[in-house]
Amino acid sequence: MTALKGVALRRGIATLHKGVALLRPYLTLLALAAALALLRVGKAQVPVITPADVSTPTPTPLALPTPTPSEPDLAISQFVARTLHVIGDAPITYTVQPGDTLFSVALEMGLDLEDVPCAVGPTFTVDRPLVIGDVLSAPPANVICHEVQPGETIASIAARYRVNPAQIRSLPWNHLPPEGEARLLPRTHLRVPLNVPLQMPSGQSVTDAELDFLLTMLNMPISTSPFVVFAQKSAARQPATPIGPLPADWPYGSGRFTWPVYGWLSQGYRFDHRAIDIAAPQGTPVTAADRGVVIRAGWNNQGYGRFVVIDHKIDYVTLYAHLDRIFVQEGEIVGQGQVIGTVGSTGNSTGPHLHFEIRDFGRLTNPLELLTAP
C-alpha cells in the first residue's frame, strides 16, 4: 500500500514538472511585458523639460481708449415734434370759421389734435370754445406742444425735454418773463423747442427703415414693384378677404388700407413730414384707401391745395392732398378703391404727387405701417 502511494506521488510530481515546463515560455513573455511596462512608466515620469526651463514674457495690459460718459439725447429719442411743416417754412396760419372744432382745425393745419392748443394761445384750454375770426399759427417743426400739469415749473418742464429753461423763455409765444419763475396754470400750454437740427444736412444718411427698404429692393428681381416689398414686410398687411357686399349706406371701414395711387415713394415719414408723398403723373386716379364718409372735399389755404378727408368711423381718418380734380362731395359714403380725385400739384407742391396722411385718434401716424399691398 505504501508503495502504491509512493508511485502516485512520483507521477503527480512528474506531471507538475511537465505543466511548469509547458507554461515557462508564457511566463517568460509575461515577465518581459511587465518589465517593458515598468520601463515606459519610468520614462514617462522623467520630464523632458522642467518649468524652470520655460520663460514667458509678462503680459502687458491693453491700452484701450476710455469712453467719454454721455447721456442719450432724450429730447430727440423720446419726444418728437408733431407737425407736417418743414423748419424754415413760412408760418402756417388759419382763420377760425363758424362750426370749427379742434379736430377740424387740426385737419386744416396739418397738426396733431393735441398740438392745436399751441396754435391758439398759451392760456387756451381744450374745454374753451374757439373764437370765430381768430387767426391761429401752427408751431414750427422743431417745437412740441406741452400741456402744463399741476405743480410743474419752467425748470421741471425743461428738464423733462432736456432743454435749457432759457430756450422755453425765449419763445415770444409763451409770454414768459426772461428771468425768474412764472406761475404756470394747469391745463394751459407751452411751446417747447426741441434740440433737433434747424435744417436737414444735404448729405444726411438714410434712416434704418429707409435703408432696410432699399436693401430689400436691391435683392428683389428687376422691375419689382415697391408695393410688393412693403406687402412682404408684414403678414398683417395682407388684404382682408371680402366677406360679401356691403350696404350702400355702410360708413365703416375695415382698418386695412390699400395704396391710394400707383406711383413711387418720393418722400417718407419723418418728424417734419408726418405723411408720405407718392409721385405720379398728373391726372392719375386717386382712390379711397378704405371705406368711409367724406368729411372734407375742397380747397385748403394752408398748403394742401385741393384735398379730400375721409372719416372711416373706426378712429381712423385719411387725407389726400394736392389733387388736380375732386370727384366726391362732403357727406358722401365712398367704398375702398373708389376714385375720389386725380393727382395734381395744387397748394404748396413742387410737382405732381399725392400727399397722403393717416390719423389714428387724431394723431398723425406712419402710413407705411398700415398700408397693404394693392
Q: How much is the pLDDT for 270?
A: 80
What is the pLDDT at residue 220? 56
CATH of the domain at 298: 2.70.70.10
Asked whether the beta carbons of 302 and 109 are under 8 A apart, the reply is: yes
Q: DSSP state, 84?
A: S
The more confident residue out of 321 and 197 is 321
Mean pLDDT across the chain: 78
* Mean pLDDT value across residues 39-55: 55
| Distance from C-alpha of 262 to C-alpha of 287, rounded to nearest angstrom | 10
Number of domains in the chain: 2
Rounded CA separation 132/107 (Å): 17
167-178 pLDDT tens trace: 999 999 999 988
Which of 193, 213, 233 is where one domain is finished?
193
Q: Is residue 321 part of a domain?
A: yes
pLDDT digits (tens, 9 = 90+) for 276-311: 999 999 999 999 999 999 999 999 998 999 999 999
Q: How far is CA 105 from CA 2, 5, 85, 230, in A?
A: 141, 136, 15, 32
For the segment 12-28, what is each residue's pLDDT rounded down to a tens digit? 666 666 665 666 666 67
Exposure string for 29-40, b = 16+ CB within 10 A, e = fewer: eeeeeeeeeeee
For position 295, what pLDDT does the model report? 96
Q: How confident is the model at residue 236 (pLDDT cuts 50, 70, 90)?
A: very low
Q: Which of 147, 178, 193 is the last residue of a domain?
A: 193
On whether residue 340 sits in a domain, the answer given is yes
Cα–Cα distance measured from residue 214 to residue 66, given in angstroms and rounded to the nearest whole number: 36
Residue ranges making up the domain that contains 131: 90-193
Candidate ranges 148-152, 242-246, 266-270; pick with highest mean pLDDT: 148-152
The alpha helices in 186-303, defined as continuous H runs, are 208-218, 226-232
Cell of 285: 386716379
Predicted confidence (pLDDT) per residue in 265-276, tens digit: 888 888 778 899
For every residue of 286-327, DSSP letters joined together read EE-SS-EEEEEEEEETTTTEEEEEEE-SSSEEEEEEEEEEE-
If asked whether residues 355 and 257 sit together in one domain, one would say yes
Reported pTM: 0.65
Neighbouring residues of 328: CB distance < 8 A, sequence distance ≥ 6: 294, 297, 308, 334, 338, 340, 341
- Give yes or no for residue 66 having a pLDDT over 60: no
Distance CA 190, CA 187 (A): 10
